[in-house]
Structure 1
Amino acid sequence: MKKIVLTGAAGALGHQLRAPLAAMADQLVSTDLADAVEGLAGNETYVKADLGDAAAVMDLLEGAEMVVHFGAIGDEAPFEQILHSNFLGAYNVWNAAQKHGVRRIVYASSIHAMGMYPKTTRIDTKMPHRPDTFYGLSKCFAEDMASMYWDKYGIEAVCLRIYSASGPVGNARALGSWLSYDDLIQLVQRSIDTPITGFTVVYGVSNNDRSPVDNSAASFLGYRPKDNAEDFAEAILAQTPQADPQDKAQMCHGGPFATVPLGESGVAYIKKMSVS
């Protein structure tokens, strides 16, 4: 295709996506709040931009065929910060997409849109939202906006409810929730090259034996994950204490985000628990 716009290009996941996306388009425009990023592809340009700035987003999306929208605060934070980057940023992307005739938006949603469901409940793509934080609520908002813009304007959207995207599996929760970087790339590629998607929700997890989600309704995307967290299970379980069934951080899909006070960092809590 002619032009893809990637938001959040300086983040951990955006960094993984830049080269694969550059290979899928004549032009890749990468954007984030960082002053610059290294290793630009020959057909890639970088533009520093705040997604909360409507005029900047409008300029970015001019001529784009698809947007891969990974730009946002990726953690729980005070509502005012989430409002600017995640709520307003998503609105600006969809509004600019409608004005410029963008065909499809591939959106980095999150498991935290469903984070308060107990892990004993296998969740599918049709169940109601149950967010665990302001961050999760922002993902619900963007998913519902994506559905509305599909119904009103025919802008396709694939909402990727990413669970635990990382390198090697690091804890017992990730035995079900892990999304390897290779499978992340495949998921985004299939979200782009599938001929017709309409409005679709799909969970971002690898081919884990212990996966707690049901992706059958999105099987038409052709996403067939190859990595399996079970390869790490023996070593991880040997060093993991017995789970407390009364602890929502262990018993809810959102993990520690299910227990942190609203507005306080879930990532900081995870790091603290890893050290203790």
Structure 2
Amino acid sequence: MAQRILITGGAGKVATSLRPRLAAPGRTLRLLDIVAPPAVAGTGDEEIVVASLDDAEAVRAACDGVDAIVHLGGQSTEAEAQEVLRVNAFGTYNLLEAARRHDLRRIMLASSTHAAGFHVRDDAAFPDGLPADLPPRPDTLYGWSKATIEALAHLYVDRFGLDIICVRIGLWFPTPPQNRGLATWLSPDDGARLVEACLSAPSPGFRIVWGVSRNTRRWWSLAEGEAIGYFPKDDAEVYAAERIAEFGEPDFRKDPELNRVGGWWCDWPLGRRM
């Protein structure tokens, strides 16, 4: 059956890695971003929409004829409060409202680990890893904006019956960066597996899952992802010797940069590194 998926942030690095992995017969990817996305080998049928998430009319038009949404667009790093609220919170509101008006019910929403950044590893309380649906504890204004859109998603599920899976994404990179990535890496292939699970899980309602691979040193739970059919295959441990040679042996139980969900983002003074 033909399927059209709207991907916001279609020119970004995550969408660029996803496009060939989501290509399938009968599937069209509609890519929305403020700039046209680059050409990528191996992609299938694609449509380009150049628009901003804060343009409600353009977002509503982009949702016309769409079967599902993969929402990756927005401000992706720390910024002033007005900017993270305009792009992330208000932009997501425009998208969910457009989905509601088009009776479009299936959405994967890219949240972030930074929505829960100040939570700390606790093997005694959570031997199978920190649950994905921990209450928000944002580590930055950016993390605050992601916690805000999780709450907004819950509203649209409860009030309007949408199915929205919020993914608290770890380090989505081709290879795990630095030592932190040995625990929190999400490989591009597992990222695509997770997106497919979010698109196909039967009637999920509102869910929060970690965006993380099956890493040996992982201390975040996979149970919530497995409940929607996400079974990651990749393990950052294959890169461990290389990372340890460069950065030293990590201590994920005591080092605050490694045993907090948000890592060193928790130490940013507000207003710095923007």
Cα deviation, 1:21-49, whole Å, max 9, x if unaligned, reads: 34275432101111453248552110111
Show structure 1 runs of 5+ residues with no match: 267-276
Distance of 1:153 and 1:264 partners within structure 2: 39
TM-score with structure 1 length normalisation?
A: 0.89
Partner secondary structure for residue 239 of structure 1 = helix
Q: Which moved more, 1:243-252 or 1:193-202?
A: 243-252
Matching residue of 1:143? 150
Alignment root-mean-square deviation, CA: 2.2
Cα deviation, 1:50-102, whole Å, max 9, x if unaligned, reads: 00111111111112111100001111111111111111111111111111101
TM-score with structure 2 length normalisation?
A: 0.89
Paired residues for 1:204-223 under 5 Å? 204-223=211-230
Q: Which moved more, 1:194-203 or 1:5-14?
A: 194-203
Distance of 2:15 and 2:110 partners within structure 1: 10
- How far the C-alpha of 1:243 sits from its partner, in A, is 6.3
Distance of 1:252 and 1:143 partners within structure 2: 20
Counterpart of 1:256 in structure 2: which amino acid? Answer: W
Distance of 1:5 and 1:234 partners within structure 2: 39
Contact 1:36 1:48 in 2 (8 A): no
Matching residue of 2:13? 12
Quote the sequence identity (%): 36
Cα deviation, 1:128-180, whole Å, max 9, x if unaligned, reads: 11110111111111111111111111100011111111012231111100111
Contact 1:22 1:44 in 2 (8 A): no
Matching residue of 1:3? 4
Show structure 2 runs of 5+ residues with no match: 124-128
Matching residue of 2:116? 114
Contact 2:20 2:44 in 1 (8 A): no
1:29 aligns with 2:30: yes
Q: Which moved more, 1:194-203 or 1:146-155?
A: 194-203
